[in-house]
Structures are given as structure tokens and as C-alpha cells.
Amino acid sequence: MTAKQLRAINPDAARDLAQALPPRLPELVPVPPRPKPKLKPGTIYSGDNGRLLCVHCAGMSAKFTGYDLSGHRVIPLGQDDAFEWEAHFGEPMSCEGGCTTYRSIRQV
């Protein structure tokens, strides 16, 4: 039975039914798109004071803006930096959490 038919048969019942129904829901607000991370997986970055970060070790600020909390831009380190690191320290370059490591492969 529709509301129109109910009003025709019993106007009081139609009014009571309308009061018992929940209020109309507001229009849904569109969800904004998710931000994309600025840091790429598998890359080591140099943060403030020489910290070595990767996408997993970096905080949300650095991950999504490319700047750490102190306002310094995180700089990606390349293979040349990894060669120099390994020559100087004698071990492969890795982030502070140890989850990303650059393995140096030298062509002889």
C-alpha cells in the first residue's frame, strides 16, 4: 500500500506513520581523493641532520609532502651515493630502520 492510498483510507494513520519514520538523510558529501605519497618505495632519502629514511621509516609529513617536520626537503640518494657510502664505511647504505638497503654492484 502506498502512502497516497493510506491517506485516502485513513488520514490519521498516514500522519502517524509519517511521524514514526526517521527523518530524511542529508545528501552525501563526496569523499576527496586520497593523497599520493611523494616518496617512492625502494629509495633511500636523506632527511634533516643526515638521517637516512625510506618510505616506511619516514613520518606521514615526509611521506606525503616530501618535507620532514622541521621543514627540510628530503633528498633522494642515488647509486653513486651508495658507492661512496660503502667505500667509506665498508657496509651497504641502508635506512635507519634497516628495511631498505642499497646493494652496490660494481662492473669490473
Please tell me the distance from the alpha carbon of residue 92 to that of residue 86, in angstroms, as a whole number.
5
Write down the pTM of the prediction.
0.65
**Using one digit for the tens of pLDDT, what is the confidence trace for 24-56?**
666 777 888 988 999 999 899 998 878 899 999
Q: Per this entry, what is the length of the chain?
A: 108
Find where cell 646493494 sits. Answer: 103
**Using one digit for the tens of pLDDT, what is the confidence trace for 56-96?**
988 898 999 999 888 889 999 988 888 898 889 988 899 98
Q: Return left, alpha or beta for 66; rule: phi > 0 is left, psi -120 to 50 is alpha, else beta.
A: left
Give ∠ CA 5-10-16 in degrees, rounded to 5: 100
